[in-house]
Chains A and B, each alone.
Chain A
Amino acid sequence: MNCEWTKDNLIACIDRELDPSQELLLKEHLHDCSACRREYEKIQIAWKTLDCWKDLAPPEHIQKNILREIKGGRKAKWLYRMVPAAAVLLIIAGIGFFYNSTDTGSFRQFTVEKENTPVEAHTDISQENVDDIIVNLQLLREKDFYDSLDRLEKIDYLPLVEDRQEEDKKESNLLEMHAA
C-alpha cells in the first residue's frame, strides 16, 4: 500500500465505494502516513464546508408569474381556436348577405331562372297515340330529307348531270365549227 494508490482511492473510500478489505488497508495507511491523512481530512472538510451554502427561498412573485402565464396561455389557446371558426362564419355570412342584397347578382338570376322553369306535365299516352307519333316522326324525317334535296337544287353553282351533257354538246359543236 503506497501513497499514490491511497490518494487515488481517498474519495472512493469517503464515498464507501471500496471493498471492506481495501478500505481497511487504506485506513491503516492513513494511520501511518500524515500527508495522506491530511489529504483525507481536506476532502472531508471541503465537502462538509459546502453545507454552509444554504437554500434560498424563491421570491413569491415567481409562483404568481407562472400561474398568470399559464392562465393567460390557456385563454390565448381558446382564442386561437375560436379565430378560424369565427372567420369561416363571417365569410359565409358575408357571401349570403352579398347575394341577397343585389338583384342583378348572378346567384339571384340563377335562382329566379330556376323558379321560372316550367314543370313537366305528366300525360297519359295510349298505344294509338304512340303509333301516330311514330308515323309523324317518320314523315318529319322524310320531310327533312326532301327539304334538303330542294335546297341542293337551288344552289346554281353545283353542276347537274343534265347541264353537263349540254356543255358537252356545246363543246362538240364548237369543235365541229372549228373543223369546218
Chain B
Amino acid sequence: MEETDIALMELIKRGDDKAFELLLARHQRSVYNLACRFLNDEAEAEDITQETFIRVFRAAGTYTPEAKFSTWLYTIVKNLCFNSLRKRRSVTIVSTEEETLPEIPAENHDPSEIIDGKRLRFKVLNAVSALPENMRIAVILHKFHDLQYDEIAKILGCSVNAVKLRVHRAKALLANSLGDLHPKPNDA
C-alpha cells in the first residue's frame, strides 16, 4: 500500500531517509515545473527545487499536517520563486487588484496561420510570462497542477474570490494574445 505524503513526513521525522527519497521522487517533477514555468528559467528552477526539498527535510521535525501536503509544498515553492524574482528585479510585489494590467504584445499574424508545436510553445511561454506575477502563479497552479481555487487561495494567502478574479483576468489577457492561434490538432 502506498504511503501518504503525511505518513512519509512522519517517517522522515523519525529519521527514515528512504521515506524522504520517496517523497522527493513523488514531487520533484511538479516542484521543478512550477518553478520553471513561473520563472521561465531552468537553472533557477533547479536551485529552487533543491532549496524546497532541503527546507522540507529540515522542517520535517516541526511539520504539522494542517492542510494537504501539496499545499504546504507549493507554498514553499511560491515563496522561493517570489524571493528569486525580488532578487532578480528588485521590484515590490503588490496585489493584483492594485496592479495595472500590462499590455501583452499582440502578435501580427494571419488568423488562419497554422503554426508548428515549437513556435506555439514559444508563443505560449511569452504570453504567460507577460502576465503579472500574482496572475501567473494562479494560472500555472490552476491549469498545470489542477488545483482548485480554494487550494490556490491557501497557497497564495488570499481569498478564493481574489484567485478567481486573477484567473479570469488572466484568461481574458491570454485570449488576446493566444486566442487567434490555430494550433495543429496534434499540438494542442
Contact = CB atoms under 8 A, between A and B. Distances in A.
Interface of A: 11-12, 14-15, 17, 39, 41-43, 45-59, 62-63, 65-67, 69-71, 73
Given A43-B179, A46-B177, A53 B32 contact: no
Contacts of A53: 37, 121, 124-125, 128, 144
B33 A41 contact: no
B174 interface: yes
A52 B46 contact: no
Nearest to A66: B53
Closest 7 CB pairs of A and B: A42-B179, A58-B32, A46-B178, A46-B174, A42-B175, A43-B175, A11-B168
A54 B131 CA distance: 19
B80 interface: no
Given A49-B120, A62-B50, A56 B33 contact: yes
Nearest to A49: B178
A69 B171 contact: no
A48 B171 CA distance: 11
A48 B177 CA distance: 13
Interface string B69-86: 000000000000000000
A1 B165 CA distance: 22
Instruction: Decide if the interface of chain B is mainly helix, strand, loop or mixed.
Output: helix
B28 to A, nearest CB: 5
B172 A48 contact: no
Interface string B94-125: 00000000000000000000000100110011
B25 A12 contact: no
Given A47-B143, A50-B128, A70-B57, A62 B174 contact: no
Contacts, number: 105
A23 to B, nearest CB: 16
Contact of B124 (A17, A50, A58): A50
Contacts of B16: none
22 contacts: A14-B171, A17-B164, A42-B176, A45-B175, A46-B127, A46-B177, A46-B178, A46-B179, A48-B188, A49-B120, A52-B187, A53-B124, A56-B32, A58-B49, A59-B46, A62-B49, A63-B28, A66-B24, A67-B24, A69-B50, A70-B57, A71-B17
Contacts of B172: 11, 43
B42 interface: yes
A77 to B, nearest CB: 10
Contacts of A46: 127, 171, 174-175, 177-179, 181
Contact of B188 (A15, A51, A67, A71): A51
Contacts of A49: 120, 124, 178, 181, 183, 188
A18 B183 CA distance: 29
Contacts of B128: 50, 53
Given A47-B143, A63-B25, A12 B175 contact: no
A21 to B, nearest CB: 21
B3 interface: no
A71 B24 CA distance: 14
B29 interface: yes
A56 B26 CA distance: 15
Contacts of A43: 171-172, 174-175, 179
